[in-house]
Structure 1
Amino acid sequence: RITFLHQPENEWKMGRWWSVCAGWIAPIMTAIMILWWMAQSIAWFPDDWWDPSNLDGLATVVLQTVLLLALLLVTNRSVARSIKRKYFNGKDFPEIPEEYR
């Protein structure tokens, strides 16, 4: 947060509140909502919530999520390898071109 967000070009100053919201509050609220929806989905379809052919069931969403995450992981690795040495060295913030200042 300090290295990348607190640049002279940035108008917004992100304090400790941002780290708490992004690191704790948002993930906890997301997990609560997902768990609540999973429980509701099982209650809506108690006999076949595990069946992937049920388009409204929990198993379909879980299967699609796993497939999407696998696809995104493969895509992310290939893109990261292709730009690794061009833009970001892992330590320094890249220079902002003059036309964007």
Structure 2
Amino acid sequence: MTFLILACAVPQPKIFYPFFVLLFYVLSVLPVFIAKRFNQGNETNPKTEFALFLCAGMVLSAFAFPIVLAHSQVITWTAATLTLISNVINYLTIFGYSMRDSEFDAPYGGMF
């Protein structure tokens, strides 16, 4: 989160477009949580696979969003780089949390 705040403050003050990446952080885990509620067993099904597909699309969008903003010169490339560093750190944290051991033997880790 520190890199994301720096992306908004350091290159050009009061440009808060990189903060829209926070929406992707929240929305990327929702399909997986919803699919997990409907599928309690160990097997995978099309609903779970579609939820993982939506999650991957949102993660990809979180990385593409600052690049598109920097390419269109809405934000600087420094802000885009700081946002990308923030994305890597935050998504690795989410991934580490999701792969923790669970009381159930889920095929994709604890969150999945």
**Pairwise TM-score range, normalised by the shorter structure:** 0.3 to 0.5
What's the TM-score, normalizing by structure 2?
0.36
Tell me which structure has the larger Cα radius of gyration. Answer: 1
Q: Which has the higher contact order (CA 8 A, sep 6+)?
A: 2
What's the TM-score, normalizing by structure 1?
0.39
